[in-house]
Amino acid sequence: MLDVTDRHCRALFRMLSQRARLYTEMVVANSILYGDRDRFLGFGEQEHPVALQLGGNDPVKLAECAALAEQRGYDEVNLNIGCPSDRVKNGVFGACLMAQPDRVADCVSAMISAVTIPVSVKTRLGIDDRDSYEELCEFVHAVADGGCQHFIVHARKAWLKGLSPKQNREVPPLHYDRVYRLKADFPDLIIEINGGIESLEQCQNHLKHCDGVMLGRAVYDDPWMLTQVDSDLFDMTQSITWTRVSLVSEYMNYIEQQLSKGVYLRHMTRHMLQLFHGQPGAKAWRRYLSEHGPRKGAGLEVVERALLLVDETPSKNDSGHTNLLTSAGAIALDQGAEKKVA
């Protein structure tokens, strides 16, 4: 979810669910330590609960970043050992670290020692030819010995050679059964499942076997599914009551604040493109925002005019039933004290 779940995206998603645990895009430790910390660590108070996702392989640097995250008020720090991109691989972090479980354990141990907030690890089933269940258990056992009690497992392995990041989200087969088995074999650990999950109904089925579910691209492709999370997964009697139009009207207050700070309109509108997914005028809405949002000097009038192109009518999703969506990636939803959905 690099370049996706930035603070503007999270501000919008928080309006759709009170309980979803939101994760930042992965931030490299060196970027925080030697770059613009406000840019990489900044978030709005309305985003809670929110977790910072880190990338790196140096225990000292990751511990320092975790401490900075806690100082900023993050609710969790997550170490990404699942990203297969070339940039990540060349930096010797992300999924390639599955080949170095002892180093991951050292990183986690250092992070845990530096903070009081939870530290979690996001991983894959394996990498390349190192993808047996036994090797996965060895990895989890080693990292758990380093103090990690919370694993988010993308139910695919990663091919570090020959597949793009996009292909790594689609080509390697899903093995949900291995994640279920991992939870059964490590009952004292928090095990969340991720990968190819397209609906809240599927989330409910996975929660019978795991402690939580992480979604990413499914939600980004149809954000409105988040409006059912609080009621369907957390049994909240008082859930989100927005219509899509009223949500946009409210989010425009946030947009206005950001514009006054010099943020370009396109940084907010790009996250709104799928809000009217499945509704009359959705294509026109997307086209107008895509064409006019990036223009120099674009302001609220662009969103106001785009709203004139949609016709919000009740859909199955609005009546309490979720539509099938598309894919999965890196947002989180908090399922009570023990269960968690992402």
Q: 3-state DSSP call for residue 152?
A: strand
9 is catalytic: no
Sign of the alpha-carbon dihedral angle for 39, 76, 218, 90: positive
Q: Cα dist. 288→203, 224, 285, 325 in Å?
A: 33, 20, 5, 23
Cβ(313)–Cβ(279) under 8 Å?
Answer: yes
Determine whether 74 is exposed, middle or buried from the number of CB atoms within 10 Å of its CB (0-12, 13-18, 19+): buried
Cis check: omega of the bond before 223, within 30 degrees of 0:
no
DSSP H or E run through 113: helix 101-114
Catalytic residue among 9, 65, 83, 210: 83
Torsion angle defined by CA atoms of residues 146, 152, 156 and 162, in that order, rounded to the nearest 10 degrees? -70
DSSP 248: H
d(CA 307, CA 249): 9
The values of phi and psi at residue 76, to 5°, are: -165, 155
Question: Tokens in use for 121?
Answer: 């690890």
Q: Cα 283 to chain center, whole Å? A: 25
- Taking alpha carbons only, the member of 229, 193, 230 closest to residue 208 is 193
Residues tagged active-site: 83
